[in-house]
Amino acid sequence: MVRIKEIFTSIQGEGPYVGYKQLFIRLCGCNLACSYCDTDFDAANSKEYRIDEILNIINQNTDCHSLSLTGGEPLLHTDFIKALGDKSNLKLYLETNGTLYDNLKEVIDYVSYISMDIKLPSAASLTPMWDEHEKFIKAALGKDLFVKVVFDKNITDVEIQKITDICKKNSVSLILQPMMQGIKPCVSSDFMTAVLDKCLNKYSNTRLIPQVHKFIEVI
């Protein structure tokens, strides 16, 4: 059995797979507390499912590109991911905060895509976790992996240096994602362009992709 906050189909709104239809499973709980978090991952109003029930739902949605495991932090539920294992008829697309590298190692064989965050202290109001993020990338290498960085007007040159260094050293795509205020980025076009240019000066495999699902108004 696994406790699940919600299961739904929608359009992927972030990163290089934007626009693909996916089946989403939102798992409960998170090991971080980002100041900008707007996701309800509390166990209240969640529901328990058996693995065979989940597999039935997957089999009814095989027109989806993949199964997004999201949260919260899905890597808090490695037993569930292992139980799902290779029984899923959809490939697993992991959306993670990129800190639980030992948990990732337990399930890496079952995951096809990894969307991992690097958390900026300036945006998330967290202590720096550069080492954890880098250990996570090393555990994820060989998979279809990209790094997503949520930023706002407080992003610093030191942070830009750090994220481009880490991504360049490991040859991982870097996706800059402006924090949103409702359906609009919280920073101006000029500011976003300037941040992109600063990163491109240090690492060419960098893109700016805002959260598309916010302005096409899907979940």
What residues line the site for ligand SF4 (CB under 6 A)?
Answer: 30, 32-34, 37, 39, 41, 71-73, 97
Residue 1, classed as helix, strand or coil, is coil
Is 103 within 8 Å of 132 (Cβ atoms)?
no
What residue type is 13 in one-letter code?
A: G
Q: For ligand SF4, which is the closer residue by CB, 30 or 55?
A: 30
Looking at beta carbons only, is 31 or 59 nearer to ligand SF4?
31
Q: Given the complex with ligand SF4, which of 198 and 214 has the nearer CB atom?
A: 214
Q: What angle do CA 193, 198, 202 make, to 5 degrees?
A: 140
Cβ 86 to ligand SF4 shortest distance, Å: 26
Q: How far is the CB of 142 from ligand SF4 (least distance, A)?
A: 24
Nearer of residues 34 and 209 to ligand SF4, judged by Cβ: 34
Enter the DSSP assignment of 143.
B
Residue 21, amino acid: K
Reduce the DSSP state of residue 188 to 3 states and report it.
coil
State how far Cα 141 lies from the chain centre.
Answer: 16
Q: Closest distance between ligand SF4 and the C-beta of residue 159, in Å? A: 17
Q: Please choose, from the candidates 6, 24, 5, 4, the residue with its C-alpha nearest in 3D space to the C-alpha of residue 14.
A: 24
Smallest distance, ligand SF4 to C-beta of residue 61, A: 23
Q: Provide, rounded to whole angstroms, the least separation between the CB of residue 37 and ligand SF4.
A: 3
Q: Could you tell me the two tokens for 184?
A: 């609009």
The candidate with the shortest Cα–Cα distance to 66, out of 103, 17, 4, is 17
Shortest Cβ 217–ligand SF4 spacing (Å): 20
Rounded Cα distance, 59 and 70, in Å:
19
- Residue among 76 and 199 whose Cβ is closer to ligand SF4: 76
**Of residues 117 and 203, the one with the C-beta less far from ligand SF4:** 117
Q: Which residue has the tokens 């697993």?
A: 92
